[in-house]
Chains A and B, each alone.
Chain A
Amino acid sequence: MTTPATRAAANLERDHPAVLVPGLKRLLKGSWEQRTWFSLAVLGAVAFALLQIATSAIIGRVTEDVVVPSFATGEPELGVVIAGGLAILGIAVARAVTVMARRIFAAAAQFDLFRLYRERLTTVYAKVPLLWHRRQSTGTLLSSVYSDVEATFFAMAPFPFALSTIVMLVYATIVVARIDPVILLIMVALIVLLIVLNVLLQRFATPIAVRSQQLRAEVAEIAHESFDGANVVKSLGREDIEVRRFDTAADSLRTTGIRMGYVRGWFDPAIDALPNLGILAVAVLGAWRIGEGHLTTGQLVEVSYLFTLMSLPIRSFGWVLGDLSRTVVGGGRVQQILDVTEQRTYGPDPLPEGPGVLAFDDVAFVYRDDPSQVILGRGSRSEDQILRTSAALHDVSLHADPDAGTRVLAIVGATGSGKSTLALLAAGLIEPSAGRIRLDGADLHSLTVDALTEDVALVLQQAFVFDATVRENVTLGEDIDETTLRWALRVAQAESFVDNLPDGLETELGERGGSLSGGQRQRIALARALARRPRLLILDDATSACDPSVELAILDGIRREMTTSTLLLIAYRKSTISLADQVVFLDHGRVAAAGTHEDLRSDSEGYRALVDAYDEAAISHNLLESAGPQPSDGPDPSIAVDAQRARTVTDAVERHGEGRYRREDVTADSECDSEPPATTGALFTVDPLAETGGTAESGPSADDPAPSAGPALPADLALPAEEPAPSADDPAPIDEEAGR
């Protein structure tokens, strides 16, 4: 995607050709897009110009008919004098109205153009494929929305006024031409000078403007990234590095700003001086022409007055010209984004009826990180110049057919084996480089956007939570009824902690769900997917931050409740994997083995090593993290009990979790009792502890009501003899027997 625009931007910097034409074109395009506001503003400006000319006529009339006679007679007629005054006032009011109209309408056009282009940019941001975003820096894209758009139409405000100058210029030319051709020459010279000045300005200003907009993006980029990584910066005490990084960019921006100021610094006074020099020239030449008898004194005065009158509009013309380089540069940057043609494409077909058969046929995927596709700045960094292509998947074929007994398909593989790529492909978020992906026989890319997003749901490991309420995060604005919403939260094991949030479902979660733990964020994201009851649900390690017991409860719930969904699981934990009907073992982007978990365990050495290693970590994690239901952060109490049944290791909970159980939670859990034994059996096979682990009764301290300070405790340890009072979130009475 080395677009012409990319090259154009590069050329612009090198050759900085005149920007007059492209700049005016861009402004005229903007004017056309805002033609209503704009024409009103131009009307106002023209009316203002005409009224200014009229003002001079009125003042002339008042001078001749009121002032001079009054002084001549020495006895002014009061009525006439007041009429003269009123005439002056009247035209001033009319002028004021036109000024107002011009200002308001021009500003309205400008602000609405900001809006229009910002909307267009955000539309592109929403439309481009996911991979495009991986190449662009958030800060830069953000800067375009604000700074580049503003730069593009900065000159829009004085533009109508500048255009009205043409009216004045035409009028003045006619008047002057009628009076004297020599003086007309001065006017022509003036206009030529104006153009020369402008060309000079653009030559100097454009490269600076290019740099300036780049730096603005860079400053935003650094700030955005630095604030994003604030924790690292703080913990390593590297504020200074960040400050240096930011300061370098800010200082460059300052230097560029000063350089721009130096250029604009002479341009504005020069533009101001032009009409004045013109008047002086008129005076000298006029005196000569009067001597020659070609001109009267009165005509000379009239011409000088015209020049004075024109100085303000000419200045406004100067403002437009002065900002034209920003228009071209900012506009170019904006256009570069608007020109992005990459788009997620959808087909015309609805999803055919079907059980949710997912099939990959010889699918391959190659990532291409082409530096030329990185737009807007940054391109100068050496690391961005490397063209990286990496093949993520080769010849992947897989089949998940619920009717054929494969409703849950697990994808297992080491880091970098291509699992996540496979998930993105299955969700239709990226297109395969080769091969076909079909859902119920329909190629994913022939499906409509609605079919794809309603019937396929993907949950990522990095759960993204919007700065909105829980409800909005789950529904995403769709019409999802309360029952479904609650059900989704319950299956995602999020209901209980959501209910404990200050405002329940209506709790604002903060930017990126800042107030939640990682596991809670994942559960919200999961509920979002479940609430849609998709035909294909893809979980890409979507429960990694949850305790294994919670994870198990979630997956078990999904299995039980989502009876019409095909489930594609990217998983690590043995317990999770064993839920799957079939397992595909990916190795370096290829399918190394496929079959049931048991088959693979016995047949594939690599597979066995992998899942065993995962499991070690998972189980000890489970032990450490699921030591009991915790009011706001832990697994739902109901799950803990569920997990207890599934994994007796949690008897530790029972011993030490006194006071943390609520009776109602335990009873509420009874719904889990309806769990089909077959599934439970599957769970048990995951965990050998089910057979061997200590039960509640056999636990060494089943009757011990509170942990006592053992010999291991140092003397200075202030250990409470009793558990602290139950927290406000957990007011239920202590009843350690409740669960038994």
Chain B
Amino acid sequence: MTAAPAARDAGASSALGSESTTDESALHTIRRGLSLTPELLRGLWITLLLAVVATGGKVVVPIAVQSILDRGIIAPEQPDLGFVAGAAGLAAVVLLLTATCNVLMNRRLFRLAETSLATLRKRAFRHIHDLSLLTQGTEQRGALVSRVTSDVDTVSQFMSFGGIMLVVMSMQLVLATAVMAFYSWPLALVVWICYLPILLIMGSLQKRIRARFQTVRANVGTMLGSVSESLVGAATVRAYGVENRTRSGQFGRVRDVRDAQFSVLRPQSASFFLSETADGLATAIVVVIGILLGTQTLGVNLPGADLTAGGVIAFVFLVSLFSQPVRMGIEMLSEAQNAVAGWRRVLGVLDTPADVSDPGGAMDPRTGKRLDPRPGATALPEGLLDIEIRDLRYSYPTGPEVLHGISVDIPARSRIAIVGETGSGKTTFAKLLTRMMDPASGELLIGEVPLHLIPYSSLRSRVIMVPQEGFLFDTTVAGNLAYGRPDATGEDMRRALDELGLGSWADELPAGLDTPVGQRGESLSAGERQLVALARAYLADPDVIVLDEATSAVDPAADVRLQQAIDGLARGRTTITIAHRLSTAERADRIMVLDHGDLVEAGTHAELVELEGGIYAGLHESWVAHRSSR
């Protein structure tokens, strides 16, 4: 709740593999970003063409006004109204044309930016689901959300406006330089010489701006993480009256964001100052040098330096034509740093390799396309699926080994109960079996196909894990059941519930299957959540079910329903149950007893009960004694 945001951010970014890219140049980030969403550059030349014409609009009016003044008003005795109207009309037409081009360009830009960034957003979202940091909770949900929301928004805001502005401004710069050189190349040179050092300093300033924007983005993530925590923990916060403390923690994160934003202002304002001063400096030097050159006071007679008083004044206005895009460009450049920082965080997600990838063709976050299936990828065969496990080992990335070589055969349609104390490796075993993670070594074959070669499309429809805590989505009961089989009709769901003996339960719900379950399913009781989770798995119609039996107590009526539903679900399938009740184990065809990561006993209930000194035998004996005593 009060952990230092800096420390947390370091952890978060390392989890997402963006740490290594902190030093990469903005250009590199942009290049990588663009390579991921090449559609952003689609038809770039059309956009640029439109931009060129649109930029032309900026010089039309000054030119028109000058020629109207010179040729329409000053030159003739009487103002030449015909000429003036003609010139102004022509200028207006050109202006409208360029404005139209501007409109078209803007539309293209918005379309391209929004489209390509939607793609980026979607890919990042998709990829996060492939990352274990999600399931292992190493990054705050709120911060993860920020990567597919605020960070992407930052990029799109810039892309639809600033990006092309930068291009337009550079073109205006070229145009202004050309016009200046046409008037007087030595003075044009002078202007460039005045601006050169500023452009050089700008490079390092922008780097600092970018680094600070990066802190802003990271702090926004942390802030959202902290707010999300207080929202999810609302009850606890209230029960302890620590609203104030929680709030002050959040205030701290909110202020971190503001302070980070403030810290961007310093280098930013330096760059504004420089660009504004450069304008004055260039103008002043143009006047001085212009006079000196024009009057040949310096004793040199450069070609292109035959200036008049009018020429010098005209040049002063040209300088402002030059300095305006520089000023705007610098502003856009500093906005660009914000976008780059956001972009980098999104790319950081995409750069993190998926931990357990789909052999049937993993989603490539860089292209959004499926990769080729892994060589040897084989869908599960039709029919019965036997499971063979040989010397299965697992250790957490930085931890000790937690499964020490499990070998077991699970014939199709058998009911297996896994028994063992907390921490014995039951859950790890179940996760390996459903390929929520990959083993350190050993073999795991389902239907004679190595697990890591079974495409998800095949695996996830035939081997399903029903977790203990039935997380439900904030929709209706039916909406949640549809997660089991998306094309299931209302009738299918009714039938499934009836077959599981849950028909009457569903009828009692306030709005039947259309009853909303609330956030995380919190409107239902824990037992009811599990019922929905079971029905959801039933609809998925898998061949193998890995079931984590609930530990929390449910009332007898619910328990009867639950057992009935589990039996219904298990019928005709292989079930591997992490048993928390001996009655479950007793009914199983075979029991596996895990102890500290070892399979220490395995066999039927009858065999294990006979096993002299066996863990299971001991447990069972006590249980029987307990029951008979009641």
Contacts and interface: CB of A to CB of B under 8 A. Distances in A.
Interface string A201-244: 00000000000000010011001111111111111111101110
Interface stretch (A170-178, A181-189, A246-254, A555-563): A246-254
A126 B247 contact: yes
A576 B572 CA distance: 39
A614 B553 contact: yes
A711 B390 CA distance: 20
Interface in B92-148: 92, 95-96, 99-100, 102-103, 106-107, 109-111, 113-115, 117-118, 121-122, 125-126, 128-130, 134-142, 144-146, 148
Interface in A510-561: 510-512, 514, 517-519, 525, 528, 532, 541, 544-545, 547
B254 interface: yes
B552 interface: yes
Given A390-B510, A461-B526, A97 B273 contact: yes
A88 interface: yes
What does DSSP make chain B's interface, helix, strand, loop or mixed? helix
B74 to A, nearest CB: 6
A433 interface: no
Contact of A711 (B457, B611, B617): B611
Interface stretch (B20-28, B41-49, B64-72, B175-183): B64-72
Interface in B218-254: 220, 223-247, 250-251, 254
Contacts of B467: 231-232, 235
Contact of B272 (A99, A304, A712): A99
A111 B261 CA distance: 7
Interface string A471-510: 0110011000000000000000000000000000000101
Residue among B400, B420, B556 facing the most chain A CB atoms (10 A cut-off): B556
Nearest to B628: A692
Contacts of B69: 283, 297, 300-301
Contacts, number: 652
B111 A519 contact: no
A311 to B, nearest CB: 9
What does DSSP make chain A's interface, helix, strand, loop or mixed? helix
Nearest to A706: B613
Contact of A107 (B230, B265, B456): B265
A712 B603 contact: yes
A280 B92 contact: yes
A8 interface: no
Nearest to B356: A234
B106 A414 contact: no
A220 B148 CA distance: 8
A21 interface: no
Nearest to A88: B284
A230 B295 contact: no
Given A610-B556, A710-B603, A714-B408, A139 B145 contact: yes
A720 interface: yes
A724 B404 contact: yes
A224 B421 contact: no
A383 B516 contact: yes
Residue among A119, A235, A517, A701 facing the most chain B CB atoms (10 A cut-off): A235
A710 B607 contact: yes
A125 interface: yes
Interface in A371-396: 381-384, 386, 388, 390
A454 B171 CA distance: 68
Given A573-B553, A634-B422, A511 B137 contact: yes
A621 B581 contact: yes
B623 interface: yes
A655 B510 contact: no
B302 interface: no
Interface stretch (A261-269, A333-341, A436-444): A261-269
B285 interface: yes
Interface stretch (B337-345, B376-384, B458-466, B491-499): B458-466
Interface stretch (B76-84, B200-208, B445-453): B76-84
A122 B226 CA distance: 10
A414 B436 contact: no
Contacts of A631: 423
Interface stretch (A58-66, A348-356, A588-596): A58-66
B438 to A, nearest CB: 13
A200 interface: no
B85 to A, nearest CB: 6
Contact of B601 (A281, A477, A707): A707
A632 interface: yes
A694 B621 CA distance: 9
Nearest to B458: A237
A92 B284 contact: yes
A421 B126 CA distance: 39
A132 to B, nearest CB: 9
Given A301-B69, A467-B1, A700-B613, A122 B150 contact: no
B121 A250 contact: yes
Given A227-B141, A272-B99, A541 B241 contact: no
B587 to A, nearest CB: 12
A717 B585 CA distance: 19
Given A76-B295, A279-B65, A718 B235 contact: no
Contacts of A230: 129, 134-135
B144 A383 contact: no
A225 B517 CA distance: 13
Contacts of A195: none
Given A92-B284, A227-B128, A383-B476, A257 B81 contact: no
A616 B153 CA distance: 55
A54 interface: no
B313 to A, nearest CB: 6
Nearest to A510: B137
Listed from nearest, the 9 A-B pairs whose CB atoms lie closest are A92-B280, A237-B460, A261-B110, A453-B241, A712-B603, A712-B607, A701-B613, A514-B137, A265-B106
Given A624-B585, A700-B621, 7 more contacts: A67-B287, A70-B294, A78-B297, A82-B288, A232-B470, A268-B106, A466-B233
10 contacts: A96-B276, A216-B153, A229-B473, A468-B2, A547-B422, A616-B583, A623-B582, A688-B630, A692-B628, A720-B598
